[in-house]
Amino acid sequence: MNELNLTPTGEPGRIHGIDALTGLPGREGLLRRVNELQADSQAALICIDLDQLSALNETLGLSAGDVLLVEAAHRIAKYAKSEDYLVRYGGDKFGLLLTSQTVPSQIEQIATALIEALRHPYLIAGREVYLGASIGLAFQQSHAVAHESPDGPQLQYSLLRHAEAALARAKLTSRGSWISYAPDMNRNFSGRLNLESELYQAIELHQFLVYYQPKASCKTGEISGFEALIRWQHPEKGVILPSEFIPTLENTGLIERVGAWVLRAACQQLKDWDAFDFERLKMAVNVSLRQLNDPLFPELVATILADTGLTADRLELELTESMLMHDVIRTESQLFRLKKIGVKLSIDDFGTGYSSLAYLKRLPIDTVKVDRAFVQDITTDPDDASITRAIISMAHSLKMAVVAEGIETDAQLSTLINQHCDMVQGYFIGKPMPSHDALALLQSGWVLAASTLGRPAKTRTLLLVDDEDSILSALKRLLRREGYRILSANSGAQGLEILAANDVDVIVSDQRMPNMTGEEFLRRTKDLYPETMRLVLSGYADMESITNAINQGAIYKFMSKPWDEQLLRECIAEAFRHKEMSDENHRLTAEVASKNQELLFKNQTLARLLDEQSHQSVVGLAALSASQETLHWIPVPIVGVDSEGLIVLRNAAFAELNFQSDIASLLLPKLPAWPNGSAHQFELIDANGAGWRVVGRHLVTQKQHRGTVFAFLSINDRHE
Ligand code: C2E
Ligand code: MG
Ligand code: MG
């Protein structure tokens, strides 16, 4: 059983519970403080939500959002006294716990002033940005106390719950203003808020688990991997399914933390199973939109892989079709960053969204998971059957593998195998199960029945056709020890029926039979089953028609009755060998064709990569010349010397300085030798007697010393 590790560093962007961006404590800190309040304390909580922050992030980028958050934190902090407590407890949410101001009218004044302060324009990247804020207020004494008795441990959350309920009401009814909590608000919001606080508790109390659902290969029948699926082991309600809590985890942003934990637990689990020789297995993990959009997500994946020692190609990240269509530009670049790490990517619930095929083609997707909705009625609804067939063939032509989800019956499985689906997942193979059951399943050597896979072991199959039973019996006796599977028919018509139901390699037919002659039967066989080897065994020969049949390829050999036993046995064995060689030829031809197709695809990918690279170097050059120009006009003197000590760069401000001696030999000895890449500071007085603080840094790329850059900061006071 996996448990959630609640080290505060597990939360991206937070170090020991402190928000790395603003330096403020988070939700845990707030809860702790609220919990410490006396039930009759006069405290009040102000919950602040910045309106439209996500829209700003979308349009100006995440760094603009970061600048704004820091500025907003400063503006709010101005209203906090030393006894008060300010937190950032969500992406765009701040909480201000006031213990110094206690009169409701004062607190309402603060709320009004905060709304005003946050409404002032923010200067971001040289432009003014306007953003409103909504506020919810709650007072400890008047509201929280009322909830004290019945629900014991839940009490600590009530002040926060009330302030959040008021905030939700403010956002809903009067954005950009504040609302104070009123008891009737809880009726609308308490269900959701209860779940939220229960989920916080679930994290703290390690109540999340990962279940594993097996996937089987349609080629080998073996388990090829698992999908990790989260479960909530609720102390009273038992195991709760993700559909009940994932949306709330997503809304609160908790999904990033819980999702990171699932990812780590699943990778570690797969690695642990390697001890039992299951290195062939892969692990699929679901990723939510919020995780995918986190710029640090690829780094998180790489770190988890490194920590657990799992190779990247054994991890498959499942992204739903609708996620991929959400913000195509951002998604595309994130997918390429993930792909660079080497992980596999798959589209989950495929067919339920409205993806554009042209768009999907551009994405580095390895696998398509056909949604359960199409599999359910695949054996009864011809539309569903053609949809799955179309998805499978489309995916294959794009070099993607296909997993069908939700297989519950043998018939659904056979249909999908016939449609050349690559992998199957569903209750028929196995339900999601705890890790120890998954290991037991693996160790039991479970495989899909060969009959379901539609590939009984290949045995040499011989069909004997003769209207005389005695001849059939004599031939069977003769060939009994050869190990063939022998089928027999008394007429050409019966022979054709047997051929329709069986995979026959060699046919030995009599020539003279009522209704259909042997020669006619073999002509038809040639058209229907051209790969079969066809022999005639006859006491009678109409030379002309036999010769024609041989010349047209309907007959491979003609042998006469009575037969030489040894010769007949050898002749039939040789026919089987011929057949096997021709089968192998077909297989190789198909393989060559598929390899050629693969090569073509790789060449196309290579061409695209080269295109991308040349585009990137154009962008890189443009960025370089822009930064050189900026450097030139920057008012701080800057000089760069190469590894030989020659000046290779100096900006306008540096040119104005009047240094008499060789600047490189003056500056370089002040720095440690080059393997040290960190910045060093020293002081210097120029020929005019001006004092400078010089910051110097060696530039090292790919372990080579490329030169040294010095920036000069004026100390202002002159050294006489
Ligand atoms: P999904 O990724 O499409 O997972 C497959 C769901 O189908 C699972 O539901 C699984 O139990 C169910 N299923 C599999 N085979 C069958 C079958 O034969 N019949 C039926 N009726 N159902 C079958 P589950 O475990 O309830 O998960 C639901 C969804 O919750 C998942 O859908 C996934 O989108 C999400 N989810 C689960 N774990 C995580 C997680 O760790 N992170 C994120 N972001 N989402 C998760
Ligand atoms: Mg999934
Ligand atoms: Mg799915």
- Determine the 3-state secondary structure of 356 from DSSP: coil
Picking from 262-276, 377-391, 516-530, which range would have the lowest pLDDT averaged per residue?
377-391
pLDDT at 2: 34
State the burial class of residue 403 (Cβ atoms within 10 Å of its Cβ: 0-12, 13-18, 19+).
buried
pLDDT at residue 8 in the model? 30
* pLDDT at 12 (0 to 100): 34
Q: What is the mean pLDDT of the chain?
A: 83
pLDDT at 102: 67
> pLDDT tens across 579-618, in order?
888 887 877 787 777 777 767 777 777 777 777 777 766 6
More confident residue, 64 or 341: 341
Best of 203, 241, 246 for a ligand 1 pocket test (most atoms within 8 Å of beta carbon): 246
Distance between CA atoms of 261 and 248, rounded to whole angstroms? 17
Tens digits of per-residue pLDDT, 92-144? Answer: 899 999 987 668 888 888 999 999 899 888 888 777 777 788 899 998 865 44
Give the ligand with the smallest distance to the CA of 351: 3
Nearest-atom index, ligand 1, CA of 255: 44
Q: Is 426 in the pocket of ligand 1 (CB under 6 A)?
A: yes
Confidence of residue 346 (pLDDT cuts 50, 70, 90): very high
| Cβ 229 under 6 angstroms from ligand 1 | yes
What pLDDT is attached to residue 175?
Answer: 63
Token pair listed for 527? 């058209």
Output the pLDDT for position 142: 56
Element (H, E) at 347: strand 344-350
3-state secondary structure at position 510: coil
DSSP state, residue 556: S
pLDDT at 193 over 60: no
pTM: 0.49
Tokens linked to 394: 């489309």
The vertex-199 CA angle with 195 and 202, nearest 5°, equals 135
* Residue-wise pLDDT tens digits, 12-60: 344 457 888 889 999 888 888 888 887 767 889 999 998 777 767 766 7
> Average pLDDT for residues 224-242, to the nearest whole number?
94
Sheet with 461-465: strands ordered across: 485-489, 461-465, 506-509, 533-538, 557-560
Per-residue pLDDT at 59:
66
Instruction: Using the predicted structure, report yes or no on whether residue 148 has a pLDDT greater than 70.
Output: no
**Is residue 432 lining ligand 1, measured as CB closer than 6 Å?**
yes
Q: How far apart are CA 204 and CA 215, in angstroms?
A: 32
Mean pLDDT, to the nearest integer, of 137-159? 57
Percent of the chain surpassing pLDDT 90:
33
Ligand 3 center to 597 CA (angstroms): 29
Distance CA 139, CA 45 (A): 6
Q: Which is the closest atom of ligand 1 to the Cα of 291?
A: 44
Give the domains, in start order, of the chain with CATH numbers. Answer: 27-181 (3.30.70.270), 202-442 (3.20.20.450), 461-588 (3.40.50.2300), 634-715 (3.30.450.20)
Cα of 229 to ligand 1 centre, how many Å? 6
Report the alpha-carbon distance of residue 199 to residue 334 in Å, rounded. Answer: 28
Instruction: Write the CB contacts of 198 (distance below 8 Å, at least 6 apart in sequence).
Output: none
Please report the atom of ligand 1 found closest to the CA of residue 242. 30
Confidence of residue 150 (pLDDT cuts 50, 70, 90): very low
